[in-house]
Amino acid sequence: MHWPGFPTSSTACDTRPMRVLVAMSGGVDSSVAAALAAEAHGTDDVVGATLKLWGGDSDSGCCSVADVDDARRVADQLGLVHHVFNFAADFEAHVVDPYVTGHAEGRTPNPCIECNRHLKFDRLLDRAEQLGFDAVATGHHARRVRDADGTWRLVRGADPAKDQSYVLAMLGQDQLARTLFPVGEMTKPQVRAEATRLGLRTADKPDSQDVCFIRSDVGRAGFLADRVPLHPGRLVDHDSGADLGEVDAVELVTVGQRRGMGHGSDGRRRFVTAVDVPTRRVTVGPPEASYSSAVALHTVAWVAGPPPGVEAGGADAYAQCSAHGVAVRCTVRAEAGGLTVVFAAPQRRVAPGQTVALFEPARPDHVVGSGVVR
């Protein structure tokens, strides 16, 4: 199978072969990405690389010994040289430690986004450049396109059910210029069909769903309890301030959560509207209290610079507040130290530490940028 959008040289006017380093996680998507790269460029100019990110035990995600073995064997099937890069120290510093610290301070970080920000599209791109590669290919379901003026755009993947543009919304021009998304034009069934046709061992491998550094038998609570003290907290009513009972660990509660929050006197479910770790207070309220008309962002990243109007009154956009959320209309305006996103209609509160991805109003599949909720 040939992917028509795959470049075959390092630049449009360069006839030398493009050297591609493929990030192989051991899953079916990156396996097929490697196969497409090898088909487009030949096995001499394509190399597979698996990142050793987590030094502890893992039974899920993309950090287990089995995943590394799957990646190595697929590379062997395809006739590719395969390397393992040990980025465990960077992963601990930029992903795991902030994840733990965030929960200890009442935030809910997204470790997959921070891994993309600091490891896959920073550390790995740097390593690829040092080794003489022109680009890094990944198995993400996203696309990149280039405008007539040479500007790179990040676009949703062809399969709406598997689109991963949300977790890539921090990418800018430098990263997009050196990144390939070979399976971005494919649906997931097409990816699996191609893996089956090639006889790849990962063809039927389930997608990873969990945080890769947290074992399923321990869970988030067990993982955090080994690293930070967990404290019981009080549930407080959003409207009256009345004490409603106890929560086992305030550090494990997230804004928007409803599980374990019980029901109000009217029988309706209660939702978390605020978490205050220093005072050990978790504020809960009825469904309508769980909505907000705006959200403030920091750590703002733009794909190709801020859109016109952001600095002067605001610009229209679409906002997606979770990996599988629906993008909604909003207005984005610059504020001191970040952005304010004002929704056209109130939305469920987004937990501090989570990411909001922004999309163009005229082309809702084109990413504008992203920011992290304050």
User: Looking at the predicted structure, is the pLDDT value of residue 315 above 70?
Assistant: yes
Which residue type occupies 276? D
Query: Are 84 and 64 within 8 A, CB to CB?
Result: no
* Average pLDDT of the residues of the chain: 93
Q: What is the pLDDT of residue 58?
A: 62
Which residue type occupies 65? V
What is the rounded distance in angstroms from the CA atom of residue 110 to the CA atom of residue 348? 17
Q: What is the pLDDT of residue 6?
A: 54
Q: Are strands 355-359 and 315-320 parallel, antiparallel or unpaired?
A: antiparallel
- The CA-based diameter of the chain, rounded to the nearest angstrom, is 72
Kindly report, residue by residue over 345-354, the tens digit of the pLDDT.
999 999 999 9
Read off the pLDDT band of 186 (50, 70, 90). very high
Cα dihedral across residues 127, 131, 132, 137: positive or negative = negative
What is the rounded distance in angstroms from the CA atom of residue 193 to the CA atom of residue 29? 11
20-139+182-198: CATH architecture: 3-Layer(aba) Sandwich (3.40)
292-373: CATH topology = Elongation Factor Tu (Ef-tu); domain 3 (2.40.30)
CA-to-CA separations, 39 to 12, 70, 181, 307, in angstroms, rounded: 19, 20, 14, 38
Q: What is the pLDDT of residue 1?
A: 45
Each domain of the chain, given as residue ranges in start order, spans 20-139+182-198, 231-285, 292-373
Q: What is the pLDDT of residue 17?
A: 84
Which of 42-46, 77-81, 312-316 is predicted least confidently? 312-316
Give the closest residue to 277 by CA, choosing from 111, 121, 125, 107.
107
SS3 content of the chain, % helix, strand, coil (to 5): 25, 30, 45
User: Looking at the predicted structure, is the pLDDT value of residue 279 above 90?
Assistant: yes
Average pLDDT, integer, range 160-169: 97
244 token code pair:
């409603």
Active site residues: 115, 212
Q: What is the pLDDT of residue 265?
A: 84
Which of 20-34, 208-222, 226-240, 284-298 is predicted least confidently? 208-222
Q: What percent of the chain has pLDDT over 90?
A: 84
Same topology for domains 20-139+182-198 and 231-285, yes or no?
no
CATH tag, 231-285: 2.30.30.280
Q: What is the pLDDT of residue 208?
A: 81
Read off the pLDDT band of 10 (50, 70, 90). low
Kindly report, residue by residue over 104-141, the tens digit of the pLDDT.
999 999 999 999 999 999 999 999 999 999 999 999 99
Average pLDDT, integer, range 17-32: 96
289 or 63, which is more confident?
289
155 or 264, which is more confident?
155
Q: What is the pLDDT of residue 39?
A: 96
Kindly report, residue by residue over 59-91, the tens digit of the pLDDT.
655 667 788 999 999 999 999 999 999 999 999
Q: What is the pLDDT of residue 65?
A: 78
How crowded is residue 55: how many other Cβ atoms within 10 Å of its Cβ? 14
Give the closest residue to 126 by CA, choosing from 174, 79, 83.
174
